[in-house]
């Protein structure tokens, strides 16, 4: 599948085939895609715990669920609990940017040297960052990018996915989560029971309300020729609701034993 189509077909899938297991190699491919995501200073804060629904005790599983999300968790055979490890930078002391210097990813032409890391990056940027209330937010931004690569890999592999919240205290005890891991979200994975289009591409605010050029008062002008190109390449697809979506929802509910 072309990259543009992978982006275009991505939906939050909420109806999975509960009886069709996900191959372990596909789970690994998703994690491999997450690992290759871009991250400041190559910190790689993202941590993930893969949990198979059918290996959870009924008592633990019930406690992990939250309203609405619980139905999705029941249908998805695989759950990936995502966290950010706050301890990374404190343990690192600038070693990771030095590694990037050594392999030529960070160049002297841009001011990067081991001395620069020791005298400026670590004491004036990284160490203060670990003590800032903004640290978890900065970490979560990078982790979101890494996690998104995993989601796109899931669709490349023919799976569906949906992010949900979860009971973080129960998960911490059940999965042995360290104190310095900050919970993000749970990625539910499985083979879609609903159509690939899942009712059509979700509505978004107008392009010019989101993006600007040169100044926050000047919307970035949307070129309709580019829109048409992306439509031809299947990134921009038919918007929701597609015809017969309500019928599809009723049939899914009946087949899966869910309320209509």
Q: Give mean pLDDT, residues 136-160.
A: 97
Indicate the pLDDT class of residue 90, thresholds 50, 70 and 90: confident
Indicate the pLDDT class of residue 92, thresholds 50, 70 and 90: confident
Let me know if residue 123 belongs to a domain: yes
Q: Which CATH number is 98's domain given?
A: 3.40.109.10
Percentage of residues of the chain with pLDDT beyond 70: 100
- 135 pLDDT more than 90: yes
Percentage of residues of the chain with pLDDT beyond 90: 95
Let me know if residue 130 belongs to a domain: yes
Let me know if residue 76 belongs to a domain: yes
Of 1-5, 92-96, 97-101, the range with the lowest mean pLDDT is 92-96
Let me know if residue 39 belongs to a domain: yes
Let me know if residue 251 belongs to a domain: no
Q: Give mean pLDDT, residues 177-185.
A: 97
DSSP strand pairing (78-85 vs 46-52): antiparallel
Let me know if residue 216 belongs to a domain: no
- The confidence score (pLDDT) of residue 101 equals 96
Let me know if residue 207 belongs to a domain: no
Task: Write out the residue range of the structural domain in which residue 41 sits.
Answer: 3-193
Max intra-chain CA distance, the chain: 65
Indicate the pLDDT class of residue 93, thresholds 50, 70 and 90: confident
Indicate the pLDDT class of residue 232, thresholds 50, 70 and 90: very high
Let me know if residue 128 belongs to a domain: yes
Whether 56 contacts 6, CB under 8 Å: no
How many domains are contained in the chain? 1
């Amino acid at each position: 599948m072309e990259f543009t189509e992978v982006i275009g077909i991505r939906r939050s899938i909420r109806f999975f085939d509960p009886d069709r297991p996900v191959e372990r190699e596909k789970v690994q491919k998703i994690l491999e895609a997450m690992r290759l995501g871009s991250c400041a200073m190559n910190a790689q804060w993202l941590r993930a715990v893969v949990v198979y629904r059918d290996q959870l005790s009924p008592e633990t599983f019930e406690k992990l669920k939250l309203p609405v999300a619980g139905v999705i968790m029941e249908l998805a055979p695989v759950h990936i609990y995502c966290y950010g490890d706050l301890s990374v930078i404190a343990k690192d002391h600038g070693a990771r940017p030095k590694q990037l210097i050594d392999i030529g990813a960070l160049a002297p032409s841009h001011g990067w040297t081991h001395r620069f890391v020791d005298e400026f990056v670590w004491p004036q940027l990284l160490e203060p960052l670990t003590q800032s209330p903004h640290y978890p937010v900065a970490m979560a931004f990078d982790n979101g990018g890494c996690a998104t690569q995993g989601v796109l890999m899931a669709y490349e592999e023919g799976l569906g996915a949906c992010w949900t919240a979860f009971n973080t205290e129960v998960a911490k005890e059940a999965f042995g989560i360290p104190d310095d891991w900050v919970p993000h979200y749970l990625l539910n994975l499985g083979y879609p029971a609903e159509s690939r289009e899942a009712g059509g591409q979700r509505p978004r605010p107008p392009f010019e309300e989101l993006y600007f050029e040169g100044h926050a008062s000047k919307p970035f002008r949307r070129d309709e020729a580019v829109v048409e190109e992306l439509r031809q390449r299947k990134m921009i697809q038919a918007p929701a609701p597609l015809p017969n979506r309500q019928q599809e929802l009723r049939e899914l509910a009946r087949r899966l034993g869910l309320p209509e």
